[in-house]
Amino acid sequence: MFEATTILAYRDDKMAVIGGDGQVTFGNTVLKSNATKIRTLYNNKILSGFAGSTADAFNLFDMFEGILENQKGDLLKSVIDFSKEWRKDKYLRRLEAMMIVLNRKNIFILSGNGDVVEPEDGKIAAIGSGGNYALSAARALSRFSNLDPKELVEESLKIAGDLCIYTNKNIKILTLED
């Protein structure tokens, strides 16, 4: 994982949600506390989040959005094509970067190694330095609380912010609902 950020995505029968903290670090210095590391893609039908270099994020988001356009928003085909392109490009495959993309039906983790991973439960995915903290919190909260998906993501990211020094509590959240 990266000493970078925390991105958490969650989807259920009601909605899809992605959230991210706002901290940008360089070594042991906080450069910015209110960055936006999540965005909507393809006519606000796809949610995405990024862990890694900010400059690389913009390039990867643009590349992925172009593939989404070519595939007419088909997320499964797009992640496979994106993975192939990311892996083939000599520059891009050296990036230490990860992305989460999701819609109402699917959720995927993408890496620069060409990995396309659908979480085992198909509902919760997390990346970044605080990803495992947020993932653990989200799993517990999904089992033992009545929080709605947006609240679950927010609370899980706050817990990650309590534990990970590269994650803060300046949280941004995006949702897709029916």
pLDDT more than 70, % of the chain: 97
Chain segment 2-14, per-residue pLDDT in tens:
567 899 999 998 8
Chain segment 71-128, per-residue pLDDT in tens:
999 999 999 999 888 878 777 766 778 899 999 999 999 987 778 999 999 999 999 9
Give yes or no for a contact between 137 and 153, defined as CB atoms under 8 angstroms apart: no
Give yes or no for a contact between 147 and 140, defined as CB atoms under 8 angstroms apart: no
Please identify which of the residues 5, 6, 25, 167 carries the catalytic annotation: 5
| Catalytic site includes residue 29 | no
pLDDT of residue 111: 82
What is this structure's pTM?
0.94
